[in-house]
Amino acid sequence: MCDFDGGTYRMAPEGRPGSGPAVMSLDDLVSYARVVADGTEWRSPNVGFIGYGQTKKADRVLLAVDTHYDHRVVEAFARALRDKGAKVDIMTVDAGPNREFEDLDEIKVVMRRRHWREEPRRWEGIPWIEELAHTQKYDLLIHGKGGPTPATDHRYEQVPWLIPAHLGSGSTTFPRALHQFINEKTWSKIWNQGRGGKVHLSDAEGTDLTFTLLEEYYGGDRRGYNEAPQGWYGHLLGHAPPPFIEKEDATGVVAGTTSHYARPFEHIKVHVERGRVEKIEGGGRYGEAWRELWEEGMKTHYPCFPRPGLFWIWEMA
Query: 206, 165, 161: which is closest to 65 by C-alpha?
Result: 161
In the chain, what percentage of residues exceed pLDDT 90? Answer: 79
pLDDT higher than threshold 50 for residue 24: yes
Q: Is the pLDDT of residue 122 over 80?
A: no
Average pLDDT of the segment spanning 215-228: 95
Q: Which of 167, 153, 145 is nearest to 64 (CA)?
A: 145
Distance CA 287, CA 280 (A): 7
Of 149, 121, 136, 29, nearest to 87 by C-alpha is: 136
Residue 17 has a pLDDT of: 42
Where do the domains of the chain lie? 26-173, 176-297
Q: Mean pLDDT over all residues of the chain?
A: 91
With a cut of 50, say whether residue 8 has pLDDT above it. no
Residue 297 C-alpha from the chain's centroid: 24
Reported as a pLDDT band with limits 50, 70 and 90, residue 317 is confident
- pLDDT tens for each residue of 242-260: 999 999 999 999 999 999 8
44-48, 107-111, 238-242, 309-313: least confident range: 107-111
Least confident of 118-127, 149-158, 231-240, 285-294: 118-127
Which pairing describes strands 60-66 and 140-143: parallel, antiparallel, or unpaired?
parallel
DSSP 240: P
Three-class SS string for 58-83? Answer: CCEEEEEEECCCCHHHHHHHHHHHHC
Phi then psi dihedrals of residue 13, to 5 deg: -55, -35
303 Cβ neighbours under 8 A, 6+ residues apart: 243
**Between these two residues, 81 and 112, which has the higher pLDDT value?**
81
Provide the β-strand partners of residue 277: 272
Q: How far is CA 214 from the centre of its chain?
A: 25
Quote the pLDDT of residue 260. 85
CA distance linking residue 287 with residue 256, whole number of Å: 11
Among residues of the chain, what percentage have pLDDT more than 70? Answer: 93
pLDDT at 13: 34
In sequence order, the 6+-apart residues with CB closer than 8 A to the CB of 20 are 1, 165
In this prediction, residue 14 carries a pLDDT of 37
Q: How far is CA 140 from its chain centroid?
A: 20
pLDDT in tens, 134-157: 999 999 999 999 888 999 999 999
Query: For residues 158 and 294, what is the distance between their CA atoms, to the nearest angstrom?
Result: 32
What pLDDT is attached to residue 22? 55
Lowest mean pLDDT among 24-33, 107-116, 148-157, 260-269: 107-116
* pLDDT tens digits, one per residue of 26-59: 999 999 999 999 999 999 999 999 999 999 999 9
pLDDT of 312 over the 90 cut: yes
Mention every residue, 6+ apart, whose C-beta is less than 8 A from residue 161. Answer: 47, 73, 167, 172
